[in-house]
Chain A
Amino acid sequence: MGARCDACKHVMLPPQSVCGQCYGYDLSWIELSGRGKLLYASVGKHRLMGLDFIQGTVKLEEGPLVPGMVIVDDFDFSHPEKIWDYNVANISVLAEIVKNPLGVESIAFRIIEPGK
């Protein structure tokens, strides 16, 4: 769920109590589609946590930018440089709720349509 300003229709995620665009206080809840475009992504080979994972920045179709894990089936973490091709590549993603590698429930984005 996000927040939408009743006056200027600006959509915010995380939801805020004041519109970041027109400073209005009249906001409504809005169910976000979860669809968006992956703008950037990087691969973490986290020595301290002992994890390999992909993290990206997604622009939702309603407007907000959201960071989150990115699920790429069969990604070869021994070649993290392959993530280069996933950046600025117009890739469509869809949000889903997953347990992250630390066991915490969180938002992740699954690739649903490859980029050009």
Chain B
Amino acid sequence: MAKTLSRSVDILGVGLTNQGFVSDTPEVKYMTSRELWSWAAQEAIKDAAITAKELDALFVGNMISELSEDQYHLGNLLPQSTGLTVSEEVWKPSVRIEGACASSSHAIRQAAFAIAAGVYDIVIAGGVEINNCRIRSRDPGNPRKMTNEERLQSIYCHYDQAWEVSQLSIQDMVLAQWLIAYAKHYGLDVETMNDWLDARIFSNAYNGHLNPKAYWNGTIEELALNAGFEDPVAFLRSPDHNPVTYWPLRLFDGPRRCDGASAVLLCASEISEQFHKKPIRILGTGNAHGRSFSEKMYSQPFIVEAARQAYEMAGVGPGDIDIVELYDFVAPEYLIPLEDFGYFERGEAWQAVIHQRTRFDSDKPVNTSGGAAASSVVGSVGAVETYYLVKQLRREAGANQVVPTPEIGLMYDAGAARDCIINIYGRLV
């Protein structure tokens, strides 16, 4: 029997900060998690056309605040500034949830479950992260970029210290093997594999350059010209400008880490239309864990399982999905999930990307936001994806709106490439 939400849940509002560096970017400079979250939360509350007084609880995802800000316990820090107050001295239920890069996806799931259980009616969830900067408690007025050592520690602490980190078995290395395995299995040669890597970069950049909230919304063509290359492919193959990091992956196959927050306002469906004319329904959600590596590697069983759960709950199939936002922290996390959750048939995703069918104005849109290449705010990823999907489903996405307006969207998030959450959202037609 399919697992379902015993009480239907809608998304009433979404909010997203500008994304950048709190050390430098003017719009977010000097902000801590409190200010970033408040920005996103206020936007979501206004978008939902409610007041903060209506909120019952807060679930915030965060991955590394203790490392980046010397700050644990965001669950206590954020309710007051979000307006979750019973009185000046008493605040409403609130908790921080950590699941590596899937932290905010877990927060959204748990918020939905709390509404479905009948405990709450209206909940704010999402994620916030100072992801690329360091704010020391002894010198809070001087945020700076993380050092390389701090940056590595903030990633590697999410892996098995005893059985992986000591063996240098780290995410990007294993993900590089996902791609090699895929290429070997489907008979792609090295040149075709490199063509695919380039094509994903072009597709993401084509989509992301129209996204005003992205940290990076330039084009590869501009970068190439600035570096003296008329041919953008030659630029991407240049070891000086795009060096190998984990073969076959290069620098541009990774994310652009930055700071920011995103909030999602959830509401019991039975009352959602009192507040918003265009609620977006959570049709299904799935979560499964694994170890990032498998015997076949070109398919990850934990992704397949999370998708199975989500589709079963939603009562739809892969053929019903009109648009995808996925967390491509490293390029192979774009390719393998697209087939594991069935957006493309097995062995077809690589060609689709090479033919740029994944652009927002083509037939199989993926990452209209620009993906992790545009901005990667680790603990906030799922909420960011939800923001963009809701905008698309409501036909409010602006310049990169998918036409015709998508009815069903799928978000894929994965913490440390092993803690997979898939949510399926639907427009109420």
Chain A interface (Cβ within 8 Å of chain B)?
14, 39-49, 51, 53, 55-57, 59, 65, 67-69, 80-81, 83-84, 87-88, 100-102, 104-108
B167 touches A41 (CB 8 A): no
Task: Give 10 nearest A-B pairs by CB, closest first.
Answer: A67-B169, A80-B247, A42-B176, A40-B177, A106-B166, A55-B173, A43-B247, A48-B148, A68-B167, A106-B167
Which of B173, B244, B297 counts the most chain A CB atoms within 10 A?
B173
Ordered by A's residue number, 27 sampled pairs between the chains whose C-beta atoms are within 8 Å are A39-B181, A39-B297, A41-B177, A42-B177, A42-B180, A42-B246, A42-B248, A43-B244, A44-B170, A44-B245, A45-B244, A46-B246, A47-B243, A47-B245, A49-B152, A53-B168, A55-B170, A57-B177, A65-B291, A65-B293, A65-B295, A68-B167, A69-B168, A81-B248, A88-B181, A104-B166, A106-B168
Q: With A and B bound together, what is the CA distance between A7 and B180 in angstroms?
A: 37
B169 touches A65 (CB 8 A): no
Q: How large is the interface on B (under 10, 10 to 19, 20 to 34, 35 or more residues)?
A: 20 to 34
In the assembled complex, how far is the CB of residue A51 from the closest CB belonging to chain B, in whole angstroms?
Answer: 8
Within 8 Å CB of A59, what residues of B? 295
In the assembled complex, how far is the CB of residue B343 from the closest CB belonging to chain A, in whole angstroms?
Answer: 24
Q: Which of B148, B152, B172 contacts A44 (CB 8 A)?
A: B172
A57 touches B174 (CB 8 A): yes
Q: Is B3 an interface residue when CB atoms closer than 8 A count as contact?
A: no
In the assembled complex, how far is the CB of residue A65 from the closest CB belonging to chain B, in whole angstroms?
Answer: 6
Q: With A and B bound together, what is the CA distance between A1 and B190 in angstroms?
A: 38
Within 8 Å CB of B151, what residues of A? 48
In the assembled complex, how far is the CB of residue B153 from the closest CB belonging to chain A, in whole angstroms?
Answer: 11
In the assembled complex, how far is the CB of residue A75 from the closest CB belonging to chain B, in whole angstroms?
Answer: 11
A40 touches B167 (CB 8 A): no
In the assembled complex, how far is the CB of residue A54 from the closest CB belonging to chain B, in whole angstroms?
Answer: 9
Chain B interface (Cβ within 8 Å of chain A)?
148, 151-152, 160, 162-164, 166-170, 172-174, 176-177, 180-181, 184, 190, 243-248, 291, 293-295, 297
In the assembled complex, how far is the CB of residue B370 from the closest CB belonging to chain A, in whole angstroms?
Answer: 24
Q: With A and B bound together, what is the CA distance between A101 and B166 in angstroms?
A: 10
B162 touches A14 (CB 8 A): yes
Within 8 Å CB of B245, what residues of A? 44-47
Within 8 Å CB of A49, what residues of B? 152
A67 touches B167 (CB 8 A): yes
User: Which residue of chain B lies nearest to A80 when distances are taken between CB atoms in the complex?
Assistant: B247
B295 touches A39 (CB 8 A): yes
In the assembled complex, how far is the CB of residue B167 from the closest CB belonging to chain A, in whole angstroms?
Answer: 4
A40 touches B180 (CB 8 A): yes
Within 8 Å CB of A14, what residues of B? 160, 162-163
Within 8 Å CB of A83, what residues of B? 247
A69 touches B181 (CB 8 A): no
Q: With A and B bound together, what is the CA distance between A42 and B249 in angstroms?
A: 9
Add 9 more A-B contacts to A43-B244, A48-B148 (CB < 8 A). A40-B180, A40-B293, A42-B177, A57-B293, A59-B295, A65-B293, A84-B180, A87-B181, A88-B184
Q: With A and B bound together, what is the CA distance between A65 and B293 in angstroms?
A: 8
Within 8 Å CB of B243, what residues of A? 45, 47
Within 8 Å CB of A67, what residues of B? 163-164, 167, 169, 174, 293
Q: With A and B bound together, what is the CA distance between A23 and B356 in angstroms?
A: 46
A44 touches B167 (CB 8 A): no
Q: With A and B bound together, what is the CA distance between A50 and B164 in angstroms?
A: 19
B167 touches A42 (CB 8 A): no
Q: With A and B bound together, what is the CA distance between A90 and B152 in angstroms?
A: 33
User: Which residue of chain A lies nearest to B177 when distances are taken between CB atoms in the complex?
Assistant: A40
Within 8 Å CB of A106, what residues of B? 166-168
**Contacts known (A68-B167, A87-B184, A105-B166); A45 close to B247, Cβ less than 8 A:** yes
Which of B164, B176, B291 counts the most chain A CB atoms within 10 A?
B176
Which of A42, A53, A100 counts the most chain B CB atoms within 10 A?
A42
